A and B are shown apart, each in its own frame.
Chain A
Amino acid sequence: MDFTKLFELVVSSALINNFVFTMFLGLCIFFGVSKKMETAVGMSITFTAVMVVSAALSWVVYTFIMVPLDLTFLKIIIFIGIVAAFVQSADTIMKKVSPSLYYKLGVYLALITTNCIIIAVPLKNAGEHYNFFESMAFGLGSGLGFGLALIIMASIREKLEVADVPAPFKGLPISFILAGLIALAFTGFSGLITL
């Protein structure tokens, strides 16, 4: 196992190929929950955890079931099924085992299934033929990158509440322009690591 490679994967998926700012995935959630810092942090934690586990799960199913049985053409259906089933069971288990945690993070769990990143990561893992640990590293990096983007955005949007924005641009439009400026800053990371 090559730790440098894994570390590079985490950094590159979190910063250089940040899902939000360079691949534009997960935007619905990104704009939806970045209004307040508290929700942004809750979402980031839940999302990163779900991401790592579902990347691992779908790698196992892909390598040991789908490839031997020649079912790879069904990958979209199977991956979305795995993610939905995992989120649903995590929801139920959390409610039973730790109601306080569920009270805090349960809402985000339900939202996660509509996040495109959750399906993009297993698809990419399969497409790039990552091994088990690389898949998990990629999942972790993507989760962290999404969290980072969410927290940056939330901290700016909290300040924006008191700013004097022209009426037609209030709300979403100004957030988009904001995201554009952050994305411009993230372009600076490109070329940091060449995989």
Chain B
Amino acid sequence: MSLQPKSNWELVKNGMFGENTIFRMAISLCPSIAVTNGLKNGVALGVAVVFVQTMVNATISLMRNFIHPKIRIPIFMLVIAGYVTIIDLLMATYARPIYKEIGLYIQIIVAFASIFARAEVYASKNKVWSSICDGFGMGVGFLLAMIVISFFRELLGKGELFGYSLISGNPLLIMILPAGGFLAVGLLMGFFNWVDMKFFGGKGASGV
């Protein structure tokens, strides 16, 4: 990435931190809780999203001069659904055990607000290469968020990471229960806001 002009790198960085889908924009929240009870699932979904987001941005950007603005929403939906189907079938074939656990959520990538929003806001107006960078950065930002959340949840809830047990004794069962997901995301979000306010003078992303 270092050979690219700086603006592209900045696009990637913006997606990863500045406009992080989950902690900053607070969209695409469903999977951040649903599949983060273990690192493995979190990473698998994150990678799927990186793929879909990058490819959708590239495709929309390539087609941006041919899409009539009035019918853009159904077309975006179809493009997204096409790539989701690809990744869905790929995972169903090559990653059967993971697919059994998170298959439904892979299919639900199709309704992700973040992918649609980037196609609409960025890819439909910009050149292919910078759209790819933007999509990639957004995807990686999502992946990072998934890793952070599932790291804490698996460590505290099961005392394991990637299925290897690290801590003996009684883990906090609540962290892998549904309720724990909400608590973990809420606490992490509050923590990142606190860091932002304390060290960077930001106002925090109270959002919504």
Q: Which residues of A contact B (CB under 8 A)?
A: 21-28, 31-32, 35, 73-74, 76-77, 80-81, 84-85, 113-116, 118-120, 123-124, 166-181, 183-184, 186-187
Contacts and interface: CB of A to CB of B under 8 A. Distances in A.
A157 to B, nearest CB: 10
B97 interface: no
B77 interface: yes
Contact of A172 (B30, B110, B208): B208
Contact of A80 (B81, B88, B180, B190): B81
Query: Nearest 7 CB-CB pairs, A to B?
Result: A171-B206, A176-B186, A180-B182, A173-B190, A168-B194, A177-B186, A180-B183
Contact of A180 (B85, B110, B186): B186
B187 A119 contact: no
B50 to A, nearest CB: 19
Interface residues of B, number: 48
Secondary structure of the B side of the interface? helix
B165 interface: no
Given A74-B85, A168-B193, A170-B206, A177 B34 contact: no
Contacts of B180: 180
A184 B208 CA distance: 23
10 contacts: A21-B179, A24-B33, A31-B208, A76-B85, A76-B110, A84-B73, A118-B111, A168-B190, A172-B205, A180-B181
Nearest to A18: B178
A30 to B, nearest CB: 8
Contacts of B29: 24, 27-28, 31
B163 interface: no
Contacts, number: 140
Contacts of A166: 190
Contacts of B84: 76
Interface in B78-92: 78, 81-82, 84-85, 88-89
B185 interface: yes
B123 to A, nearest CB: 17
Nearest to B189: A173
Nearest to A19: B30
B193 A173 contact: yes
A116 B85 contact: no
A81 B78 contact: yes
B81 A77 contact: yes
Contacts of B85: 73-74, 76-77
A172 B207 contact: yes
Interface in B37-94: 73-74, 77-78, 81-82, 84-85, 88-89
B98 interface: no
Interface core residue of A21, A31, A77, A84 (most chain B CB under 10 Å): A77
Contacts of B73: 84
A74 B27 CA distance: 26
Nearest to B31: A24
B34 A24 contact: yes
A28 B194 contact: no
B152 interface: no
Contact of A23 (B34, B183, B191): B34
B78 A120 contact: no
Interface core residue of A22, A25, A31, A173 (most chain B CB under 10 Å): A173
Interface core residue of A73, A168, A178, A183 (most chain B CB under 10 Å): A168
Nearest to B34: A24
Contacts of A35: 208
